A and B are shown apart, each in its own frame.
Chain A
Amino acid sequence: MKSNFDPTTLEIYRALFTSVAEEMGVALRRTAFSPNIKERRDYSCAVFDAQGRVIAQGDHMPVHLGSMPMAVAAALEQIELAPGDVVALNDPFAGGTHLPDVTLVMPVVSKQRKLFYVANRAHHADIGGATPGSMGLATDIYGEGLRIPPIRLVRNGTLDADTMRLLLANVRGNVERRGDFDAQIGSLKTGATRLLEIIERRGEREAVEYASQLIDYSARLMRYTIAAIPDGSYGAEDFLDDDGVDDRAVLIKVRIVVKGEQALVDFTGSAPQVTGAINAVEAITVSAVSYVFRCLVGGEVPASAGLMAPIEVIAPRGTVVNANPPASVAGGNVETSQRIVDVLFRALANALPDRIPAASQGTMNNLTIGGIDTRNGQEFSYYETVAGGMGARPALEGMNGVHTHMTNSLNTPAEAI
């Protein structure tokens, strides 16, 4: 191992960048309006370098782990961000996951140069569409709600009131939505302020250099982890019962090829995309792979772009693991992602029988309720996911009443709904 870095400085930046993401999370949770964000903590915050590569992410939602970077990539590709701009997006076919997850991205600018980006993603309790909660049985993306390609929500520090009006006119419970957007923007500002302080204190060159070093560091840890898996080709498959529209089982199939420090994860052979809303977009599938390998690393690792460097994912287009528009995708994020994880673990169990748990509940048990509150005539919508069981471990019982794998959202207290 020969690399031009100082181990002490590396460790310091690991802590610094991670704490920026965590502080953003605290700010978001404390100021959000909807129970889904403030009580259930269904959000993630992350820091990116100037190329849009993720450097650090708070320990928030695993399903956002691999998918946030794709959202930032899409935002940077489509919009030339100026200082003070904030881009919003939720389009699952342009870096999003499902419509309720809205991602905001902001550049961090020092001396007219964009050195970093900060981003956060929050699950909004409603984003329009046919059913309250925007998680219904739609058969295309248009029925699921408002699709937001990367657009500027804030221009040069000023909220774009026209855009905000358009957004709010298309969602239920718009006072709550507005409050949540404000909280997201406030959280980005918190992150940017912190990064600028770090730059001021330690110097721009070092901060930028060690952002890059952190990515290499995660990559080294992942290569070390993969090298410890016996070389070979490990396959597994499993099904989702049906897609909610007809009753055919939906196949998810994977083959993991481990060779030295590299892994290839190939989903070829998985079912074609379906009519119902359980299609996963590529970002979800990459997230699931990212989560599974992250678990194998063990210990604290920065959730940086380096984690996926030694891993190649093949998710054929037009399948249930990489749907094309205009497929409906609301459940891909919350149902299919969990089954993908179970299938990946099943494959890896062939390689690492002493480390891999049995399948878990394989779902997040989504529940949405909404309508008109008869007491005051106001619209409301409410979203919950219900925990279940975690599969038994080789030397330990499983756990019950706990969220597994791709989610870790809290339940809403009955007394807080």
Chain B
Amino acid sequence: MVSRQPIRIGVDTGGTFTDFVFERDGRVELFKLPSTPSDPSLAIQEGLNRICADTGSELDHIEVVHGTTVGTNALLQRKGARIALVTTAGFEDVLAIGRQARPELYNLNAIKPPPLVADELRLGVAERVVASGEVLEPLYERDLKNLVRKLKQAGVEAVAVSLLFSFLHPEHEERIASALASLDVPLSISSRIHPEYREYERTSTVVINAYLQPLMGRYLQRLSKQQGTQLNLRVMQSSGGSISADVAAIEPVRTILSGPSGGVVGALRAAHSAGLQNVITFDMGGTSTDVALCDSGAIRTTNEATVAGLPVAVSVMDIHTVGAGGGSIARVDEGGSLRVGPESAGADPGPACYGRSLLPTVTDAHVVLGHFGGAGLLGGEFKLDEKRAREAMSGLANDLGRVSGKRCSVIAAAEGVLSVANTNMERALRHISVERGHDPRQFALLPFGGAGGLHAVDLARALRIPTIIAPTAPGALSAVGVLVADVIKDQSRTVMFTYAAKEIAKLGSVFREMEKEATTVLRGEGFSRSKQRHERSLAMRYRGQSFELEIPETSGDLATAFHRAHLERYGYAQEHSEIEIVSARLRSFGLVEKLAQTRIGASRQRRKTKPHHEVTAHIDGRKATVGLYKRNELLAGAKLQTPCIVTEYSATTLIPSDAHARVDQFGNLLIEI
């Protein structure tokens, strides 16, 4: 057989479709298959067989990177394993009490979800390590024997271990791990998975890990053993890089936002192709909207994420989700305010224009205003019932007229729904930008998902974002992202010292030690030295604070950089206060071959391109005849007449008259306002 480069394939499992992206002869190809929710590996198997048949490859000669929702769904639906938790005696209920706050302050019927580990399976062992790391009470051998016996009887499928202050003194957890090895079930050890302080958040993280281990282990096993062949399989992790399937099976908590993080990586790639480094991604779907901020070409991560109401303290891409989407239902409340969402019409019965309900939704507002150009969805395959949309919106208009005492037209009602929906989404965008000290004027907005392009210009105006980039193939961005994501390994060492020159000098050896370790691991995964990159940063704070800011190690004088960062983020700096360096962090990348950027044909026209045809639509409060462009007919360099609507297979973009729009050489649509 001729030796050649293996085919690399990105696979993203979504609720409706499973997307496949691969590269052949320097061209990127993509297709969709219906997902198989009962066992997502079935659709994947079908897709891989198809690619192999098409390209004449063998299953053992392809590389697959996978964005999965198996972990997220199991957690959301509470379908994980029967597990036990071993913890310091007296702290068995940390998991049940959490941070003791209730999620809804004024809801007398709030329900607190039960912990993932049943009461009788949260087992305490006598031992105590104190805040200095010293052992106050040792761990006794006889207790370990009892523990193993109890767990054997209980018949659990996995065990989480999280002792107090284990990040300072991991030995007790390690001894428990050795003793539990005889159970022959997966273990999740807190000092290995997340050696950081805050016992509830750490325990929650390892418990989620244990809860998902058996299921994820079986799933990845099934997936990587394709028709008797061992597949080269990697899994997208929540922080924006991929990990090997073996690591994902041991630490599935790292894949909890696998799918959405692929979308952000894909979005960032599109931004880079257009020469943009600072972007805010905006993924608007039917029921929810995900937003994320990337500055200086990098993805931001957080250790304070919450998934399915439970804290996840490992590094997760900082994606903020709000319950607002195309299906959000509009209504007038008892006080006379126009509310949009969080209730959603979902896919079934769906918005009024889907023909099965009379619920006025955001999508119906767009239909009434003519924003789809009468074209329907999915390239016209999915027809929209304009009459029903109008009927639903007219009901809302009546309600609005009744409370305000002024007649309200159907058009005004639809425009009102969009204003409110935009305000809700603007809040989400502010949350990840302004509230964290970023000036939106220095960013571009990158909409994707079916409805992103319909709202992008209004949102950009509200936040004074000057540029919008609508990427090509917005429907397959996640699969592309999964495929191009670098391999990422994060390390952190708690150093905890007060800022001083002689202490800073010691950092060099700490970083070098971490780099040595990362280099070895990455080389083992096939990345030579030249295919590696290491980023050093420091978690710093004023002495007395308990939240740190992450400062790149290369930024010259560290104290100045920290004061500046604090000023930017919080509006003040305390230049006379002591600074603490809490930990040294290293993010190591195994650099993945970049996908070819497909250039599209160029336009020779110097004048603005003529639209495909003209339609009537309401844009910016005015009824007008506007041009409708078909995305796939646009050539590089084309300049669009505005106002206009740009339609494509899975998305629609709305461009008002005061914006300038052009197509770049890779097919990205760039809108300047």
* Residues in A lying within 8 Å of B, measured CB to CB: 1-8, 10-12, 14-16, 19, 23, 26-27, 30-33, 35, 38-39, 41, 59, 62, 175-176, 179, 182, 185-186, 189-190, 193-194, 201, 217-218, 220-221, 224, 291, 294-295, 297-299, 301, 355-357, 386-387, 390, 393, 395-396, 399-404, 408-411, 413-417
Distance to closest chain A CB from B452 (angstroms): 20
With a cutoff of 8 Å between Cβ atoms, the chain B residues found around residue A1 in the complex are 336, 402-403
B509 beta carbon closer than 8 Å to chain A: no
**For B98, B165, B340, B420, which residue has the most chain A Cβ atoms within 10 angstroms?**
B420
Known: A19-B427, A179-B545, A415-B198. A14 touches B337 (CB 8 A): yes
Residues of A near B98 (CB, < 8 A) are 401
Interchain CB contact under 8 A, A23 and B334:
no
Can you list 26 A-B contacts with CB-CB less than 8 angstroms, sorted by A residue number?
A1-B402, A7-B332, A7-B337, A7-B403, A10-B336, A11-B420, A15-B420, A23-B434, A27-B570, A31-B545, A59-B105, A176-B544, A190-B570, A220-B334, A297-B106, A298-B107, A299-B333, A399-B110, A402-B101, A402-B102, A403-B101, A403-B102, A408-B101, A411-B100, A415-B198, A415-B199
Q: Shortest Cβ distance from B103 into chain A, in angstroms? A: 9
Chain B residues 165-209 with CB under 8 Å of chain A are: 165, 197-201
- Bound Cα distance A355, B107 (Å): 11
A33 touches B424 (CB 8 A): no
B545 and A402 form a contact (CB under 8 A):
no
In whole angstroms, what is the CA distance A189 to B333 when docked?
Answer: 33
On chain B, the residues within 8 Å of A297 by CB distance are: 106
What is the bound-complex CA distance between A140 and B102, given in angstroms? 34
The 5 closest A-B pairs by CB, nearest first: A8-B416, A387-B100, A401-B97, A33-B544, A410-B99
Q: Is the CB of A186 within 8 A of B571?
A: yes
Partner of A5, one of B336, B419, B435: B336
B313-366 contacts to A (CB < 8 Å): 332-340
A7/B545 in contact, CB under 8 A: no
Inter-chain contact total with CB atoms closer than 8 Å = 176
Is A413 in contact with B424, judged by CB distance below 8 angstroms? no
Cβ–Cβ < 8 Å partners of A41 in chain B: 101
B638 interface residue, CB < 8 Å from A? no
Interchain CB contact under 8 A, B108 and A357: yes
Given contacts A38-B547, A408-B102, A411-B100, contact A190 B335 (CB under 8 A): no
Q: In the complex, how many angstroms separate the beta carbon of A347 from the nearest chain B beta carbon?
A: 15
Q: With contacts A3-B404, A30-B547, A62-B105 known, is A182 near B574, CB below 8 A?
A: yes
Q: Are A38 and B337 in contact (CB under 8 A)?
A: no
B164 at the interface (CB under 8 A from A): yes
Name the residue on B nearest A9 (C-beta): B419
Measured CA separation A220–B333 after assembly (Å): 11
CB-defined contacts of A387 to chain B, threshold 8 Å: 97, 100
Chain B residue with the shortest CB-CB distance to A393: B109
Q: Does B82 count as interface, using CB distance less than 8 angstroms?
A: no
Contacts of B26 in A (CB 8 A): none
Specify which chain B residues have a CB less than 8 angstroms from the CB of A30 in the assembled complex. Answer: 547, 569-570
Query: Per-residue CB proximity of B410-454 to A under 8 Å, as 1/0?
Result: 000001100110011001001000110000000000000000000
Are A7 and B197 within 8 A (Cβ)?
Answer: no
Q: How far is the CB of B432 from chain A (nearest CB, A)?
A: 12
User: Do the beta carbons of B545 and A33 come within 8 Å of each other?
Assistant: yes
Q: Which of B497-548 contact A (CB under 8 A)?
A: 542, 544-547
Contact assessment for B96 and A401 in the assembled complex, using a CB-CB cutoff below 8 Å: yes
Complex Cα–Cα for A23 and B433 (A): 11
A403 CA to B103 CA in the complex, in Å? 10
* A27 pairs with B131, CB closer than 8 A: no
Cβ B404 vs Cβ A7 within 8 A: yes
Chain A CB within 8 A of B228 CB: no
How many residues from B make CB contacts under 8 Å with A? 61
Residues in A neighbouring B164, C-beta threshold 8 A: 414-415
Q: Could you tell me if B423 and A15 are in contact, using CB atoms closer than 8 angstroms?
A: yes
Contact between A416 and B546, CB atoms less than 8 A apart: yes
A3-B405, A393-B109 as given contacts; A217 in contact with B427, CB under 8 Å = no
User: Does B572 make an interface contact (CB < 8 A)?
Assistant: yes
- Which residues on A sit within 8 Å (CB–CB) of B402? 1
Closest to A15 in B: B423
| Contact residues in B for A220 (Cβ distance below 8 Å) | 334-336
For A193, the chain B residues whose CB sits under 8 A away are: 571
**How far is the CB of B333 from the nearest CB of chain A, in Å?**
8
Asked if B338 and A10 sit within 8 Å, CB to CB, the answer is yes
Query: Which residues of the other chain, B, contact A415 by a CB distance below 8 angstroms?
Result: 131, 164-165, 197-199
| A393→B405 contact, CB < 8 A | no
B400 within 8 A of A: yes
Is A189 touching B108 in the complex (CB atoms < 8 A)? no
Given A3-B404, A356-B108, A399-B112, check contact A224 B131 (CB 8 Å): no
Q: Chain B residues with Cβ under 8 A from A356's Cβ?
A: 108
A39 to B435, CA, bound (A): 19
B165 CB to closest chain A CB, in angstroms? 6
| C-alpha spacing A319/B572, complex, angstroms | 44
Minimum distance in angstroms from A382 CB to a CB of chain B: 13
Q: Which residues of A contact B106 (CB under 8 A)?
A: 62, 291, 294-295, 297-298
CB within 8 A of A217: which of B335, B405, B547?
B335
A-contact 0/1 string along B118-137, CB 8 Å cutoff: 00000000000001000000
Q: Known pairs A393-B108, A399-B112. 18 more at Cβ < 8 A? A: A3-B403, A7-B338, A8-B338, A11-B423, A19-B427, A23-B434, A33-B545, A186-B570, A186-B571, A189-B572, A221-B333, A297-B106, A357-B108, A401-B100, A402-B97, A413-B197, A413-B200, A415-B164
- Taken together as a complex, chains A and B put the C-alpha atoms of A193 and B430 apart, in Å, by 14
* B55 CB, nearest partner CB in chain A, Å: 50
B553 within 8 A of A: no
Indicate whether B23 reaches chain A with its CB closer than 8 angstroms.
no
A413 B199 Cβ-Cβ under 8 A: yes
A190, B97: Cα distance in complex, Å: 33
What residues of B have a CB within 8 angstroms of the CB of A400 in the complex? 96
Q: Determine whether B2 belongs to the interface, using a CB cutoff of 8 Å to chain A.
A: no
Asked whether B295 is an interface residue with its Cβ less than 8 Å from the other chain, the reply is: no
Is there a chain A Cβ closer than 8 Å to B93's Cβ?
A: yes
B111 located at the interface, meaning its Cβ lies under 8 Å from any Cβ of chain A in the complex:
yes
Chain A residues with CB below 8 A from B110, complex form: 399
A182-B574, A224-B334, A298-B107 are contacts. A7–B100 as well, Cβ < 8 Å? no
The smallest beta-carbon distance between A330 and chain B, in angstroms, is 21
Picked from B91, B572, B577, the residue with its CB within 8 Å of the CB of A186 is B572
- B400-A7 in contact (CB<8A): yes
Asked if A15 meets B424 with Cβ closer than 8 Å, knowing A33-B545, A38-B545, A415-B164, the reply is yes
Q: How far is the CB of B402 from chain A (nearest CB, A)?
A: 7
Assess the B198–A416 pair: CB atoms within 8 A. Answer: yes
Identify the interface centre among A3, A62, A414: most chain B CB within 10 Å of its CB: A414
| Chain B residues whose C-beta falls within 8 Å of the C-beta of A298 in the assembled complex | 106-107
Determine the chain B residues whose CB is within 8 A of the CB of A396 once the complex forms: 109, 111
Name B100's contact: one of A295, A299, A393, A403 (CB within 8 Å). Answer: A403
Chain B residues with CB under 8 A of A6: 404, 416
Beta-carbon nearest neighbor of A401 in chain B: B97
| Beta-carbon contact of B571 and A189 below 8 Å | yes
Best-buried of B198, B334, B415, B572 by chain A (most CB within 10 Å)? B334
User: Do the beta carbons of B336 and A23 come within 8 Å of each other?
Assistant: no
In the bound complex, residues from chain B placing their C-beta under 8 Å from that of A393 are: 108-109
Please report the C-alpha to C-alpha distance between residue A11 and residue B426 in the assembled complex, in whole angstroms. Answer: 13
Residues of B within 8 A of A3 (CB): 336, 403-405
User: In the complex, what residues of A have CB within 8 A of residue B435's CB?
Assistant: 23, 26-27
A282 to chain B, nearest CB (A): 22
What A residues does B109 contact at CB under 8 A?
A: 393, 395-396
Given contacts A33-B545, A387-B97, contact A5 B423 (CB under 8 A): no
A42 to chain B: closest CB distance in Å? 11
**Docked pose: A130 CA to B642 CA in angstroms:** 72
Residues of B within 8 A of A413 (CB): 197-201
Contact of A8 among B99, B200, B419, B434 (CB under 8 A): B419
Closest to B340 in A: A11
